[in-house]
A and B are shown apart, each in its own frame.
Chain A
Amino acid sequence: MAKYIYHKEDSRHHEYNEWLDSKKTFSFSDYYNPKRMNFGALRVFNDDILHAGKGFGRHPHDNMEIISIPLDGSLIHKDNLGNEQVVTAGEIQVMSTGSGVFHSEYNHEQATTTRFLQIWIYPSALNVTPKYTRLALNKEAFDNQLSAFIAPEADTQTAAVQQQAWMSLGTFNHTRTFEYQVKQSGNGAYVYVISGQIEIDGQQLSAGDALGISETNAFSGKIISPEAEILVTDVPMTF
């Protein structure tokens, strides 16, 4: 029988300062809530808004898969691997930080905010060679269906992470049902509503709400608003 965990939008930890407006789903930095630590290998799910021209200065990471998904605006990424990339809405970036990387992330927009999802997934192996990937998403692939853009192996539509994890997007423009097959046994799916309203197994979800579903191989949902965009993060529940 499927197991559910519901995270309502306003249950997330909200921090606001002169450069960052951040809503944290799970404990992060000095926010500590033992009941909000992770969903399987998904450890961080922050919905961040960077003020114009502001951002995260140079700082290190290691042994974490870090995915950034701009929802509007653009980020400028620089790292000590020699990458300098602007990542705009409709693109994503992945850092497999492995044996160590230093980077900065700033809002590339000088007059407007940039909103992006910052997602961290525990890696399946330690100390791998760091890698950076920027991927332009093929919008058509997500029209009225859930389609993967993150996977353990890269292909033309997906960027790779160092974990048996997948991330899928779906942009729906009419009321309909959808089905999702969990990618491998033992994984769970964390469904985040970027916009619109959906329903999964009787649980209605609005923008910013999330539902973690585990101990099942598949689930179905219903789009109940004229338009909706959803993100599914499919991760091992034990790792």
Chain B
Amino acid sequence: MTDNLSIQLLAIGYHPEIMQVLHRLMNSHSGWQGDIALSLEEGLQQLSDKTYDGVLLGVGVTPEDEATISAAIEKQQLPTRIIRHYGGGSGLLENEVRTVFENLQHK
């Protein structure tokens, strides 16, 4: 992974209070560092400014937004993996991230 061997995550979602919880959860997890973006524009900007291992698509992000994010990642040839986040809290978060990155390690 990138900096300090931590998994660098960007979570994009449009519900500020839920995203604050996600921010806290990401940064309280050993081996993860997380940023949040509260709009599509902000998310695209952050993807341009910093290299992330994964981008979590959270509450409010539509399939059309996902296509825009995917196109931006492809255009900039970023190593960022897209992870659709369901549930809005800690229930599935670790599983969703581990599924992507443990699968990568086994390839």
* B-binding residues in A (CB < 8 A): 27-30, 32, 34, 37, 43-44, 59-64, 97, 99-100, 102, 120, 122, 126-127
Contacts and interface: CB of A to CB of B under 8 A. Distances in A.
B91 A28 contact: yes
Interface string B12-55: 01010110010000000000000000000000000000000000
Given A28-B92, A29-B94, A32-B95, A63 B18 contact: no
A97 B94 CA distance: 20
Contact of A27 (B13, B59, B90, B95): B95
Contacts of A43: 86, 92
A43 B88 CA distance: 14
Given A44-B92, A63-B88, 10 more contacts: A28-B95, A32-B95, A43-B92, A59-B90, A61-B87, A64-B87, A99-B60, A102-B17, A126-B63, A127-B62
Interface residues of B, number: 23
Contacts of B59: 62-63, 99-100, 127
A136 B102 CA distance: 43
Nearest to B63: A126
Contacts, number: 68
Interface of B: 13, 15, 17-18, 21, 58-63, 86-92, 94-95, 98-99, 102
A27 B102 CA distance: 15
B21 A63 contact: no
A32 B103 CA distance: 13
A131 to B, nearest CB: 15
A27 B91 CA distance: 9
A63 B89 contact: no
A188 B15 CA distance: 33
Nearest to A66: B87
Contacts of A97: 87-88
A97 B18 CA distance: 12
A62 B99 contact: no
B99 A37 contact: yes
